[in-house]
């Protein structure tokens, strides 16, 4: 084998090997990304409008949301997940604010940050009325803070 | 009786330990012991040089592997069984609380000791040439230790576990560009759930320990190949940095077959290849300072082992590993705290998630890795390296202060509360 042959076969070998390694690494990363998530659905029904009281928000434990029912303005749904690092915020009746137990973020009733490390306001989710008369929340659809469903 | 003697001699082939030859062969012929040299410098054995912290760290790891395997017999990494199994270990399994305690306290101890070991290596300047790379290996061992603690923390599936990991993995998602995906891969989902528990389990019992063993082997091998332990600081000659003393060894460039036989010392292949005698820092007149590893080094290591094991056993007899309520994604405990060694990080994070949770720790690790390459001062004597010592001490103290604040001065809602004030949490 002469020098020229050696170099071309050699570089072909290196390229093949490199491609093989890169493809395998990609496959490993893809393998680790689940194709199916066995997690609760992002869209779910929470009951009929009559189930909710006026005034103070109702906290739904499993869905981690606050449901507001306002006499004039209707329904709105806020996320209970702190935008800092994901702890569940609590609504304090005393000051009508959301308090995060983890690093002390405080949110106003409209979700905006009053103080603390949270970088963004609490999220608001779209709530609609399903055909069967139940309220349906879609966590994939984030809406601006003023969003209301009039029932 | 001949048969028994034959069998014994087929296993133990060395000369009797009363002879120097036997003492050397004990080390040479034994796969486990031969990571040691046959002879070690007396000064290397001095407690006040190493405090045996590296050994203690290693022995704690051995305890962790043994008790961890025992726990695996009763643990299913699936919620909510995981938590039930913890309860079983706590109340039903024979010696369960003791085993769990040993595993938990040894884990805490390992974090403490690996950190102290790093401090000892720094303050004695032992990361300097030729040991720079072993320091780097050490930094990765430190990270692996923290990684094992973090993954192990989720396994009991109690409130503490769930929220510490929720917060911890969310910190990761602040990393620019890849953060969100990284968290998804780590958790196998979008929230801490059954997929996350399984992944953390695999990391905790298979992947991270394998890397730990691998790197520990490299670490030990390097200690040996870097010429054994560094000289104790008080043995350094004044105003003369430690240097290699080559006692008539052939130059490195000499071809192997052209090495002239030395008259005053014979060299093995290894010394010819490396171009320096194995006892690189010993001059012939110092050679009498060396002692046989058996029994001097082995005896001391055995004592360190026994002190470590009995210490952890004693603690586990009197203190149980904590276990809180079953993990409840809906209810965040107040205050929700990470394990103590991450509370410094949590304190930083409470000011800014990106700066405190991603930027600061990354810079810290990079700074640690860079130390041996940036500190070009060849001297290891403390009086010559005031700056380095000051900087490192500030680093250590800053870490400790943050941890103390996070542990003792943070109450519900992460509000600043001194430890002597009692707050009734969760008013609402
Ligand atoms: C799992 C963690 C670790 C284990 C089991 C371990 C074990 C050891 C042992 C047994 C020694 C021999 C001397 C002694 O006891 O001090 C040693 C030396 C050394 N270690 Fe570690 N170590 C670990 C982590 C680290 C870390 C975090 C660093 C630094 C960042 C480090 C850097 C070094 C260096 C540079 C030496 C040589 C010191 C000298 O020559 O005086 N190691 N290690
Ligand atoms: S998670 Fe809410 S303040 Fe940190």
Residues A53-87: tens digit of each pLDDT: 888 889 998 889 999 998 776 899 999 999 988 88
> CA-to-CA distance for B314 and A82, rounded, in angstroms?
42
- Of B44, B111, B126, B138, the one to substitute when testing ligand 1's pocket (max ligand atoms within 8 A of C-beta) is B138
- 3 state SS of A111: coil
- Of A89, A90, A105, A111, the one to substitute when testing ligand 2's pocket (max ligand atoms within 8 A of C-beta) is A105
Q: What is the pLDDT of residues B224-235, one digit of tens each?
A: 988 889 989 888
Q: What is the CATH number of domain B11-232+289-331?
A: 1.20.810.10
pLDDT of residue B428: 35
Closest CA to B318 of B7, B22, B98, B9: B98
Give A-chain residues touching B329 at CB under 8 angstroms.
64, 88
CB B88 within 8 A of CB B323: no
Helix-strand-coil split of chain A, %, nearest 5 = 20, 30, 45
Interchain pair B331, A88: CB under 8 A: yes
In this prediction the pTM is 0.87
CB B354 within 8 A of CB B174: yes
Handedness of CA A110, A111, A112, A114 (dihedral sign): positive
| pLDDT above 60 (res A119) | yes
Token pair of B235, please?
Answer: 């043995």
For residue A93, the chain B residue with the least C-alpha distance is B428
Candidates A103, A113, A114, A120: best to mutate against B (most CBs of B within 10 A) is A103
* CATH homologous superfamily, domain A43-143: Rieske [2Fe-2S] iron-sulphur domain (2.102.10.10)
| pLDDT above 80 (res B176) | yes
| pLDDT above 50 (res B361) | yes
pLDDT of residue B178: 84
Ordered by start, the domain boundaries in chain A are: 1-38, 43-143
By the CB < 8 Å criterion, does B262 face chain A?
Answer: no
Ordered by start, the domain boundaries in chain B are: 11-232+289-331
Mean pLDDT of B97-111: 97
Look over chain A and give the mean of its residue pLDDT values, rounded to a whole number: 90
Mean pLDDT of B104-121: 97
Mean pLDDT of B310-327: 94
pLDDT of residue B136: 98
| pLDDT above 70 (res B258) | no
Mean pLDDT of B192-204: 96
* Pocket, ligand 1, Cβ cutoff 6 A: B 50, 52-55, 57-58, 61, 114, 117-118, 121, 126-127, 131, 134-135, 138-139, 141-142, 145, 216, 219, 223, 229-230
Token pair of A65, please?
Answer: 């949301």
CB A145 within 8 A of CB A78: no
Q: Find the range with the poorest average confidence among A90-99, B53-62, B122-131, B288-297.
A: B288-297
Ligand 1 atom with minimal separation from the B144 CA? 1
Mean pLDDT of B52-70: 98
Tokens 């399994």, residue located: B93
| pLDDT above 60 (res B262) | no
pLDDT classification of B242: cutoffs 50, 70, 90: very low
What is the CA(B10)–ligand 1 centre distance, in A? Answer: 36
Mean pLDDT of A35-49: 88
Look over chain B and give the mean of its residue pLDDT values, rounded to a whole number: 87
């Amino acid at each position: 084998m002469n020098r020229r042959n050696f170099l071309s076969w050699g570089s072909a070998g290196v390229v093949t090997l490199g491609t093989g390694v890169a493809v395998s690494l990609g496959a490993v990363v893809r393998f680790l990304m689940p194709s199916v998530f066995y997690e609760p659905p992002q869209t779910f029904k929470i009951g009929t409008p009559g189930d909710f009281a006026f005034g103070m928000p109702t906290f739904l434990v499993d869905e981690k949301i606050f449901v507001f029912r306002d006499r004039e303005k209707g329904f709105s749904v806020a996320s209970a997940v702190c935008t800092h690092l994901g702890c569940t915020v609590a609504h304090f009746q005393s000051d009508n604010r959301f308090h995060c137990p983890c690093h002390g973020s405080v949110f106003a009733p409209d979700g905006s940050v009053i103080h603390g490390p949270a970088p963004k306001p609490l999220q608001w989710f779209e709530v609609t009325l399903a055909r069967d008369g139940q309220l349906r929340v879609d966590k994939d659809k984030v809406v601006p803070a003023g969003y209301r469903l009039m029932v | 009786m001949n048969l028994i003697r034959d069998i014994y001699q087929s296993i133990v082939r060395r000369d009797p330990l009363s002879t120097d030859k036997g003492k050397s062969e004990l080390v040479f012929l034994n796969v486990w012991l031969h990571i040691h040299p046959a002879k070690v410098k007396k000064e290397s054995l001095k407690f006040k040089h190493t405090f045996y912290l590296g050994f203690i760290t290693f022995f704690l790891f051995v305890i962790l592997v043994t008790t961890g395997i025992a726990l695996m017999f009763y643990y299913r990494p699936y919620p909510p069984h995981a938590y039930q199994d913890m309860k079983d270990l706590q109340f039903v399994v024979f010696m369960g609380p003791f085993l769990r305690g040993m595993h938990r306290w040894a884990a805490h101890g390992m974090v403490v000791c690996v950190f102290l070991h790093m401090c000892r290596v720094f303050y004695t300047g032992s990361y300097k040439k030729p040991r720079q790379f072993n320091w780097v290996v050490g930094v990765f061992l430190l990270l692996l230790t923290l990684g094992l603690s973090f993954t192990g923390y989720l396994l009991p599936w109690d409130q503490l576990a769930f929220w510490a990991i929720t917060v911890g993995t969310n910190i990761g998602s602040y990393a620019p560009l890849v953060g969100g995906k990284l968290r998804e891969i780590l958790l196998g989902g979008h929230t801490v759930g059954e997929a996350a528990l399984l992944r953390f389990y695999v990391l905790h019992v298979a992947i991270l320990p394998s890397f730990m063993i691998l790197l520990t082997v490299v670490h030990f091998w390097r200690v040996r190949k870097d010429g054994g332990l560094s000289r104790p600081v008080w043995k350094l000659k004044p105003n003369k940095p430690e240097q290699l003393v080559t006692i008539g060894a052939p130059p490195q460039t000499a071809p192997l077959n052209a090495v002239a036989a030395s008259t005053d010392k014979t060299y093995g292949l290894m010394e010819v290849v490396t171009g320096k005698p194995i006892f690189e820092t010993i001059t012939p007149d110092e050679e009498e300072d060396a002692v046989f590893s058996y029994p001097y080094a082995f005896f001391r290591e055995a004592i360190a082992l026994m002190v470590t094991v009995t210490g952890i056993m004693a603690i586990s007899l009197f203190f149980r590993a904590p276990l809180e309520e079953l993990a409840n994604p809906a209810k965040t405990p107040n205050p929700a705290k990470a394990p103590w060694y991450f509370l410094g990080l949590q304190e930083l994070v409470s000011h800014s998630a990106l700066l405190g949770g991603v930027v600061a720790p990354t810079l810290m690790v990079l700074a640690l890795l860079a130390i041996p390459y940036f500190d070009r001062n060849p001297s290891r004597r403390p009086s010559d390296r005031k700056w380095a010592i000051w900087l490192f001490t500030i680093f250590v103290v800053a870490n400790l202060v943050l941890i103390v604040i996070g542990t003792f001065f943070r109450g519900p809602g992460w509000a600043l509360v001194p430890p002597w004030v009692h707050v009734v949490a969760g008013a609402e």
